[in-house]
């Protein structure tokens, strides 16, 4: 299968402190890749490299290259704003804007000018909510505040919001860490459904979740990529002893 993202010798440091060291990783197109590892291992930092969200953080420097469809996203002719439209992101804490549900989903299409008419915008919002499996729950109250929804619904609003821009890649930074098991199950189901059309990279603390949803898993530890392989392989017979220890719960 085709390679969507090719990370080569990526190194990120905040000031003097190195967060990740020399990471090289190829992400397959239209699959779900999970990044696991103990807290502070650099998996979120790596994730944020893939759509240049680290640019926003002060005194953060990045070495190496990240190729999206064989094009370096840190190259001089790349606009991070356009990049983030291609590589969307869903955050750990559901962060719907203090606007109506409709305006939340329409936010991305509006700023990128994706809809030429009101009807087209409505279609985009409708389709995104449908893909996110939310449409039945919210179709009668699109003008209500998105912040009034439950935590799980809010997180799915955020996923729908990311889908509405029709990105190629969706990055998810522990999207279920604040949700109950039922809401988590819904989001995992949703990820499975949309993984045919989107390349998804998910950072998670739950190894069961990684095992359930992902095809490929990368294990990070102290800023190093320890092991990267098919999920089945990682969770049944890992090559590295540290991976073995981590997935069996001996540390982390």
Partner 1 sequence: MQNIPLSFVFFMLIGVSLFFYFYSKNNILKKAAFVGQRSKALPSHYGQQSFLWAFIPSAIILIFLTIGGPNYIDQLFYNKIQELNPKLNQSFVSLILAKVINVSNGKIATADEKILSLASDYKAALDQLHFYRGLVVILCAALVGMFVSSLQSPRANARENVEKLIINIFFVSAVIAIFTTGAIILSLLFEALRFFSLYNFFNFLFGLHWAPNVAIRSDQVAAAGSFGMIPVLVGTLLISFIAMCVAIPIGLFSAIYLAEFASPRTRDFVKPTLEILAGIPTVVYGYFAALTAAPFFREIGFSLGLDVSSESALAAGAVMGIMIIPFISSLSDDVIRAVPQSLRDGSMGLGATKAETIYNVVLPAAIPGLVGAVLLAVSRAIGETMIVVMAAGLSASLTVNPLDSVTTVTVQIVSLLTGDTEFDDIKTLSAFGLGLALFFFTLLLNIFALSISRRLAERYD
Beta carbon nearer to partner 1, 87 or 207: 87
Q: Does 8 bind partner 1 (CB under 8 A)?
A: no
Among positions 9, 71, 111, 193, the unique one binding partner 1 when judged by CB under 8 A:
111
| Per-residue contact flags (x/-) with partner 1 for residues 130 to 159, judged by CB under 8 A | ---------------x-x----------x-
Among positions 20, 35, 89, 191, the unique one binding partner 1 when judged by CB under 8 A:
89
- Beta-bridge partner residues of 20: 12
Q: Does 77 bind partner 1 (CB under 8 A)?
A: no
Task: Report the SS3 class of residue 226.
Answer: strand
What would the DSSP string read from start to end of 22-40?
A: EEEEEEETTSEEEEE-STT
Q: Does 177 bind partner 1 (CB under 8 A)?
A: no
Site for partner 1 in 186-245 (CB under 8 A): none
Structural tokens at position 235: 């969770």
Beta carbon nearer to partner 1, 74 or 107: 107
- Beta-bridge partner residues of 15: none
Burial of 182 (0-12, 13-18, 19+ CB in 10 A): exposed
What is the C-alpha to C-alpha distance for residues 104 and 201, in angstroms, rounded to an integer? 23
Site for partner 1 in 28-57 (CB under 8 A): 51, 53, 56
Backbone conformation region of residue 64, classed left if phi is above 0, alpha if psi is from -120 to 50, else beta: left
Judged by the rule CB under 8 A, the positions of this chain that interact with partner 1 are 51, 53, 56, 58, 81-86, 88-91, 93, 95-99, 107-108, 111-112, 145, 147, 158, 161-162, 165
């Amino acid at each position: 299968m085709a390679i969507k993202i090719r990370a080569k010798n990526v190194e990120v440091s905040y000031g003097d402190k190195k967060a990740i060291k020399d990471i090289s990783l190829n992400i397959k197109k239209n699959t779900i890749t999970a990044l696991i590892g103990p807290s502070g291992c650099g998996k979120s930092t790596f994730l944020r490299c893939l759509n240049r969200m680290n640019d926003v953080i002060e005194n953060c420097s990045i070495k190496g290259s990240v190729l999206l469809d064989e094009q370096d996203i840190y190259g001089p002719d790349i606009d991070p704003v356009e990049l983030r439209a291609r590589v969307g992101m869903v955050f750990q804490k559901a962060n719907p804007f203090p606007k109506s549900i409709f305006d939340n989903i329409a936010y991305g299409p509006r700023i990128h000018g994706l809809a030429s008419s009101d009807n087209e915008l409505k279609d985009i919002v409708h389709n995104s909510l449908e893909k996110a499996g939310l449409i039945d729950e919210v179709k009668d109250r699109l003008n209500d505040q998105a912040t009034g929804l439950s935590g799980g619904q809010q997180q799915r609003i955020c996923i729908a919001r990311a889908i509405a821009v029709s990105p190629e890649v969706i990055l998810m930074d522990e999207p279920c860490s604040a949700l109950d098991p039922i809401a988590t199950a819904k989001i995992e189901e949703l990820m499975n459904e949309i993984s045919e059309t989107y390349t998804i990279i998910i950072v998670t603390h739950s190894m069961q979740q990684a095992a359930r949803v992902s095809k490929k898993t990368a294990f990070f530890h102290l800023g190093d990529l320890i092991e990267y392989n098919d999920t089945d392989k990682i969770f049944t017979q890992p090559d590295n002893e540290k991976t073995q220890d981590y997935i069996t719960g001996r540390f982390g």
